[in-house]
Structure 1
Amino acid sequence: MGKSTYQKRYEPNDDGLRFQSLVYTGNYAGMEPLPDGILGDRLIRQRMKTKVMEKVSHADVLNDHFSIAELNDMNNYIAWNIWDCLALRATEGVSGMIPRQEYEILAFMHEFYRYPEFMRLITDEIGAQGVIDIGESARHEIGTKINCVHDWCLIAGPAMGRCGLLALEAIGADDYVEETNTIFKFSQRVLWGKRQDGYILNSQDRYRCQIHDQELIDKLVSATVNFEHDSDPYHQFTAFNAQAEILSFFDHYDCRLGLGDTGPYPLKDGKLLIIRDLFVNEELYHWSDVCDGLPHCYTMAIIIDPELLELDEIRVNDISTTFTKPTNYIAAITGGAVFVREKWDTPMGEVYNVPFKDLKEISEKIQEAVFKMYKKTVRMSRRELCFNGINSYYIEMILPHLRKAGLYDYVATEKNFWEVDQRISNNYYEIAKRNFVQVTVPQKIFSGAGYLPFSEKADIRNSKYTVI
């Protein structure tokens, strides 16, 4: 009899395990704090006034606007979800080389100001169904940035930006209602189109992101190599994963946008498949010249034996990251394969499998790129690093959706996409005062206290419009 119990987590009445001891309050002062995970998702949805975070229909998603009550329910859920994702790895936001905390909050603010314009443009160009179809495209592809973390960031990034702007007192709680509606609706459409099950977030489905078509899964699994723990293929595969992860982080300015997991996909033999995209060369960024010679993305098909791990719970959370109980699933990897997508728009028919014998040589090329990236980075000023980081968030999070809509070139040349809004440039100096980045922002974001709801007096049409 197997020792794993993870399948119990998918039973309707199971509350899941706790991955952290912290609890969440947010806009629920005076009520019992919320835990993480499956139980936290169930409890927060029970507190909602609307059904916007239950399974929604195609007709619901095509509807152009949310009510104020629906916006507030989504705002509350996203705030909890951000905490649920980030509290497990809060120290990851601190880097000794790159001013990551600074660039993150500036980028989030920039997104809140500017994304509504781009989202309206995309919707006007391809229609509401076209936006849904952008999300749906991820079901048939690997090596695509229309993935869990980028789609989540469309809504979570601007939500954190609003939180930061409220904390700076740069905006009021009832400002930008129309823009918030645009952000939430565009994000809902992309996320719904990707999942195709009525939900928009993995946390609503017990942390499953099982989006890929069976035909694609079968193709990937057919190319996998089975191996024993501590064997040469095991070490080749896991070492490659580690090296490629480092570069995917570094090329995306020390953040998780270079990595994307989906799954877990149950296999016929009882094992689990995780599909992991590692984006090691985003040619759009000038610092990626050190990655010349490497493809846009390596995709890994990772097979995990839940019995070997004695798996009690597995989560693929909404920032495309796999967490397990017990924590170290690397030792339970029993097979895998590596695929290459040369460019972001390389046809899927041209994606190819890499033989294991080539992984060592590729790993050495990746290591060389990491070393070059380090040398390039340490020569940059703090301001250059910060504004490069802003672009790695603000540009990156909506980039794949603009590309898929065929609007990237237009937005880049005609809509000042790469220009930094003056309000954000001014805030570069403001956020350094009174420990705003180090103390105020984390407290507002992780406690949930900064995601103020819209009042009953808020006008659904209230807009500040565009300022460049």
Structure 2
Amino acid sequence: MTEMIDFAAFVEKFMAEVPGGVAGDAEMRRRDPHPFVDTTAADIRPDHLDDDQIDSWFDYMAWNLWELIASRSTEGESGLIPRQEYETLSFVQQWDVYPEAMRAITAEVGVDGLVDLGRVSKREVGTKVNHLRNYACSLMAILGRGVGVKLDLVDPVASRSDVETCIQFGRRLWHGTWGDGPGLASGRGFTLPHLDRDVLDPLVAAAVSVEDPEHRAVFRRFNAATELFGFMLHYDNRLGMGDTGPYPLPGGGFALVRDHFLHEPAYPWADVAEGMPYAVTEVMVFRDDTIDVTINDIGTTFTTPSTYLDRLDSVVVFARDTMDTPMSELRILDDDEMRAISAQAEKGVLALYRMYAKKSVDEKIWDGITVYSHDFLRPIAQRVGIWDRIREGGFDAPTELTKKAWPTLASGRAGEILAPVFMMGDGFPSVRPKS
């Protein structure tokens, strides 16, 4: 009973001390007035970091991750998909392959090129070169280091150079999105309003009223069907979706911009999406200023009241037919096409369930590892044009570290390992030598 009470305290507050939300960010900044998750044009340039900078990044990111898991309730374990197993193993795989891939990307485009990649999500919708990948590509690999240390497979001191690579790679992307200052939604009041206004305003201007009950019903079905389909296509996780905003609007109210990724050709099971657009983007306009909106660093929206879609005033849905479709060629979906895509998505979810049910546990774990290890980095590497080169270096094969961790993490102990990694800061062991 004592252990349960103690763990409950760690669920309630980070390290049983720091709350979630804006108050938690303020407390972390009181403890460290200049956290290294904030960026400047100068401090993103060095490749090597000092101990205090690494500790600062670790401390804030440990709280940020706890906040994401404990306070925002992301999706949990599935009875069909071994989520905890593939998550922990994918972190380990990423730790073994990401630093080298990040160095290859940096060598190709330089620091300024990474900053430019961070700007992509300011100018485009329906792209996976977005805040989620910028935020998570470094974090997921660092968590793999933490898991490896817990399993006595990784030396926390000897791995310092890869830690530096991961931290600076992510910070350079963050700087492209936000410039000087906080690089995370948690440091910006839990908002992600990063589309430039000259990009956002024409999208909002195309929104039409949902006063007609039939039009509203068509959109609500479309929103639900494409969200679930993207979720399942990406192996039961949120890599197939993401929100930005809220964007304050002239005259009051706000807009939310939501991407659902549907036809991701990277995965062999994506043939169920044949004929769908690569991505659809919903631009939703609300004129009710009493709705409280927060968006976390993985692009998940939380509102009070939770029935915010009941207060939707107008909406427009754009299709990006392929990953390379220019922004100038986005097209608006009418109700008939939304109905057709909704029907295909609903059938597609059932087909995915049937397909996943036929796979062995090990097959599903490796599929999940593939999704995580690909999807956090592939969009960036594709944009640079070196994804194929990175894959040729053994990126797709289970590494020796992954093979060593597999028996433990696939044996039912993944949850036992993940809990302290997510909730108690164990994902961020110090790089400092023990005295």
What is the TM-score when the length of structure 1 is the normalising length? 0.87
- In structure 2, what is the equivalent of residue 45 of structure 1? 29
Q: What SS is found at the alignment partner of 1:58? A: coil
Give distance in 1, aligned partners of 2:311 and 2:158: 50
Change (3 A) 1:436 1:223: same
Are 2:386 and 1:407 aligned?
A: yes
Give distance in 2, aligned partners of 1:210 and 1:60: 24
- In structure 2, what is the equivalent of residue 141 of structure 1? 124
Aligned residues: 426
Shift of 1:456: 5.8
Matches within 5 A, 1:89-108: 90=73, 92-108=75-91
Matches within 5 A, 1:16-415: 22-25=12-15, 33-48=17-32, 51-54=35-38, 56-88=39-71, 90=73, 92-228=75-211, 231-307=213-289, 310-311=290-291, 313-412=292-391, 414-415=392-393
Give distance in 2, aligned partners of 1:148 and 1:328: 25
Shift of 1:50: 5.1
- In structure 1, what is the equivalent of residue 397 of structure 2? 419
Shift of 1:59: 2.0
Shift of 1:183: 0.2
What is the TM-score when the length of structure 2 is the normalising length? 0.93
Change (3 A) 1:102 1:450: same
Change (3 A) 1:49 1:304: closer
Q: What SS is found at the alignment partner of 2:313? A: strand
2:40–2:179: 8 Å Cα contact kept in structure 1? no
1:50–1:70: 8 Å Cα contact kept in structure 2? no
The percent identity for this pair of structures is: 31
- In structure 2, what is the equivalent of residue 462 of structure 1? none
Give distance in 1, aligned partners of 2:431 and 2:30: 20
Gaps of 5+ in 2: 1-9
Shift of 1:134: 0.8
Change (3 A) 1:409 1:173: closer
Give distance in 1, aligned partners of 2:416 and 2:434: 31
Give distance in 2, aligned partners of 1:243 and 1:197: 38
Give distance in 1, aligned partners of 2:126 and 2:333: 14
Return the letter of the residue paired with 1:256.
Answer: R
Shift of 1:91: 6.9
Give distance in 1, aligned partners of 2:186 and 2:126: 23
Give distance in 2, aligned partners of 1:322 and 1:196: 23
Shift of 1:49: 7.5
Q: Deviations over 1:12-59 (max 9, x none)?
A: xxxxxxxx982101xxxxxx70000111011112212755234x3212
Give distance in 1, aligned partners of 2:73 and 2:88: 14
Q: What SS is found at the alignment partner of 1:384? A: helix
- In structure 1, what is the equivalent of residue 7 of structure 2? none
Give distance in 2, aligned partners of 1:195 and 1:450: 26
Q: What SS is found at the alignment partner of 2:283? A: strand
Q: What SS is found at the alignment partner of 1:294? A: coil
Give distance in 1, aligned partners of 2:207 and 2:33: 47
Shift of 1:272: 1.1
Give distance in 1, aligned partners of 2:11 and 2:80: 30
Q: What SS is found at the alignment partner of 1:323? A: strand
- In structure 2, what is the equivalent of residue 442 of structure 1? 419
Shift of 1:269: 2.6
- In structure 1, what is the equivalent of residue 408 of structure 2? 430
Give distance in 2, aligned partners of 1:425 and 1:281: 31
2:146–2:429: 8 Å Cα contact kept in structure 1? yes
Shift of 1:225: 0.9
2:317–2:332: 8 Å Cα contact kept in structure 1? yes
Shift of 1:198: 2.7
Give distance in 2, aligned partners of 1:391 and 1:352: 31
Give distance in 2, aligned partners of 1:196 and 1:437: 37
1:445–1:451: 8 Å Cα contact kept in structure 2? no
1:278–1:299: 8 Å Cα contact kept in structure 2? yes
Shift of 1:248: 0.6
Q: What SS is found at the alignment partner of 1:448? A: coil
Give distance in 2, aligned partners of 1:110 and 1:432: 14
Return the letter of the residue paired with 1:122.
Answer: I
Return the letter of the residue paired with 2:374.
Answer: I
Give distance in 2, aligned partners of 1:428 and 1:168: 11
Change (3 A) 1:172 1:306: farther
Shift of 1:237: 1.1
Return the letter of the residue paired with 1:158.
Answer: A
2:14–2:66: 8 Å Cα contact kept in structure 1? yes
Give distance in 2, aligned partners of 1:360 and 1:387: 34
